[in-house]
Structure 1
Amino acid sequence: MKTSYPAPAKELDSVSPLFRKALAYVQHDAEDIYVLSAKYGLVTLDQPLEPYE
């Protein structure tokens, strides 16, 4: 489930337990983290995105 309002990429899928666990895991070792969005492509965690279905 995604948010219903514009938010940074790291928050759009924040309700997903798998997304939260994967993000927590990689944040310890990675310098740069990106999210692959079906609509927007490769985005940074802080990039604001409009929600979509």
Structure 2
Amino acid sequence: MESKIIAVADSFDAMTSKRPYISNPLSLEQAIVELQKYNLIRQLFMYLSIRY
């Protein structure tokens, strides 16, 4: 479970943080849309609801 939470948090951080290879990071809203687009948030919540 922890690895799934970390994966979503890491993806969000990578999209919203300024990095040497990313000139314009995404806004918080854009990052959430991207996570939703690939169903990462839904997959995490489905995993948590089945697990607990």
Q: TM-score of the superposition, structure 2-length normalised?
A: 0.34
The structure carrying a bigger strand percent of its residues is 1
The structure carrying a bigger helix percent of its residues is 2
Higher RCO structure, 1 or 2 (CA under 8 Å, sep 6+)? 1
Max radius of gyration: which structure? 2
Q: TM-score of the superposition, structure 1-length normalised?
A: 0.33
